[in-house]
Structure 1
Amino acid sequence: MIRAILAASLLMAGPAAAQTQTEARTAKPTILAIFAHPDDELVVAPALADAAGDGVRVKVVYATRGDAGPGVSDFEKGAELAAAREQEARCASGALGLDDPIFLDYGDGTLWQQAQSLEGAQSPLEAELRALIAKHDPVTIITWGPDGGYGHADHRMVHALVAEIVQGMTLGEGAPQLLYPGIPDGSLPPVPELQRWATIAPELLSVNAKYDDAELARAARAVQCHVTQFHAASRAQLASVFDQSIWQGAVHFRRAFGRKD
């Protein structure tokens, strides 16, 4: 997977820019996966595990700690739930072999408020994301597409802010490539909870991140971390269902911005 991602990223630049980017990032390239909630990373889990296994520094950034999503747990909404879900996210990153995640601590379900700031041009979340991207200088950023997976407002806001930031960078001169995970049309399994998920024409999913059995097993272990969000039976089956129906050996992405190869 990482070979495809790095190659695609370098193709975005001209020869001189590509050489500079290669020299700067060869030692330890970074991928940022920017999501709204703990457990969002599961949609691309085998791809993240593969990248980390290839020696890439992979960090997941969560805009919230999931304080309003009790899932299947007995937690009330609030700080205790947020603390539990933070530990689940750390567990998942460990299972996938990733760096420790970053939590920005905005309220779960409140990210629509970050569309703008009354005091200035940037919302606080936008400013924090800009600073993180500048600090980590990622070769690739992975985030939700415009559909937000299944229309979740928090997902869509993270998408909008990340896309705005990356499109404002000088594309082709060391800027990260931006990738959105996608579900190919016709690949949704017959699971009622998944029927509201958006699908996309397969020809638009031009980056296909292959994974092996070991990386799929890491993804399955990451699912097991999220005990507040899924019943035991769902945790046991989720990675396998995605593997057999949606992924089929590769996590699928589309590029946010077109380019001339």
Structure 2
Amino acid sequence: MSKPLLAGVPALLLASAALAQPAGDTRPVMVILAHPDDELPMAPALSALARAGADVRLVYATSGDAGPGVSDLEPGEALAAAREDEARCSAKALGLGAPMMLGYDDGKLADEARDTPEDDGLIARLASEIAAAGPETIITWGPDGGYGHADHRLVSAFTSQLVEAMPASERPALLYFGIRADRQAPVAELANWAKTDPALLSVRIGYDETDLAAAAAATQCHATQFDAASRAMLAPVFDQAIWQGAVDFRPAFASRGGSAD
């Protein structure tokens, strides 16, 4: 396998045009997340990657069937169906194909933690999907899970476990979403989000107004999770206070020289 699409880019602001895959290279960028709406904190980066020609594939471990969100739907199949529709709406808004919904129980991914790639569970399913796709890059939550959500942490851990077990010659780049420690969101809802030392966030995916508009449209899809006022403010708040022109990621692995691998 050739060098990953995003390899070797410490301290480099990556213009979206530079992220297009080489001609004839069809290996995807996999984005492995826990729930529909988890894509929103990185949404303009996903739009930028897709516009630059990358095959970006969203994978959700659960359908978000536990909620609670802001809808009147009870936890269960009806809510899961609604959130799956919202995930498809969001993916379309970002210029992506239909997402893969793995259908594991929302809020109960800890039940999968003792499994291995040889067992019939989420880790095995992720292993199978990664092997089938042969991704050049995988994006997921960092170990912090954004704001400590257990399902987010576990998806990060499961994905990391699988990637770090791969031979170096086959290992995709693994990127964790992060928020710079020197930036503060001006809303209480984001006060408990984890922060990362900027020195570790060595991959930055730039976006433009087209991508920001796509992120705002994707946010509007998630009506069971956020009220109208929240949907209207989420992308502008992240744009002005968190992203500021580029979404930050931390490479999971460092090369022997200490740069992004």
The alignment status of 1:245 with 2:245, answered yes or no, reads: no
2:117–2:127: 8 Å Cα contact kept in structure 1? no
2:182–2:198: 8 Å Cα contact kept in structure 1? no
Q: CA deviation at 1:120?
A: 8.4
1:1-261 mapped onto 2 (5 Å cutoff): 6-8=5-7, 26-117=24-115, 122=119, 124-171=121-168, 173-259=169-255, 260=257
Q: Distance in 2 between matches of 1:198 and 1:29?
A: 31
Q: CA deviation at 1:9?
A: 6.5
Q: Distance in 2 between matches of 1:217 and 1:177?
A: 28
Consecutive unaligned residues in structure 2, runs of 5 or more: 11-20
SS at match of 1:199: coil
Q: CA deviation at 1:121?
A: 5.4
SS at match of 1:242: helix
Q: Distance in 1 between matches of 2:9 and 2:128?
A: 23
Q: CA deviation at 1:29?
A: 3.1
SS at match of 1:8: coil
Q: Distance in 2 between matches of 1:69 and 1:186?
A: 32
More helix by share: 1
CA separation of 1:85 and 1:206: change in aligned 2, threshold 3 A: same
1:114–1:123: 8 Å Cα contact kept in structure 2? no
Q: Which amino acid aligns with 2:83?
A: R
Q: CA deviation at 1:189?
A: 1.1
Could you give the per-residue CA deviations for residues 124-148 of structure 1, whole angstroms, max 9, x where no partner exists? 1000000000111111000011111
Q: Distance in 2 between matches of 1:121 and 1:135?
A: 16
| TM-score, length-scaled by structure 1 | 0.89
SS at match of 2:7: helix
1:223–1:238: 8 Å Cα contact kept in structure 2? yes
Could you give the per-residue CA deviations for residues 217-256 of structure 1, whole angstroms, max 9, x where no partner exists? 1010000000011110111111010000000000000000
What's the % identity of the aligned pairs?
Answer: 54
Q: Which amino acid aligns with 1:113?
A: D
SS at match of 2:5: helix
Q: Distance in 1 between matches of 2:88 and 2:117?
A: 33
| TM-score, length-scaled by structure 2 | 0.89
1:28–1:55: 8 Å Cα contact kept in structure 2? no
Please tell me the root mean square deviation across aligned C-alpha atoms, in Å. 2.0
Q: Distance in 2 between matches of 1:7 and 1:231?
A: 36
Q: Distance in 1 between matches of 2:25 and 2:118?
A: 36
SS at match of 1:46: helix
SS at match of 2:189: helix
List structure 1 segments (4+ residues) > 3 angstroms apart after TM superposition. Answer: 119-123
Q: Distance in 2 between matches of 1:132 and 1:255?
A: 21
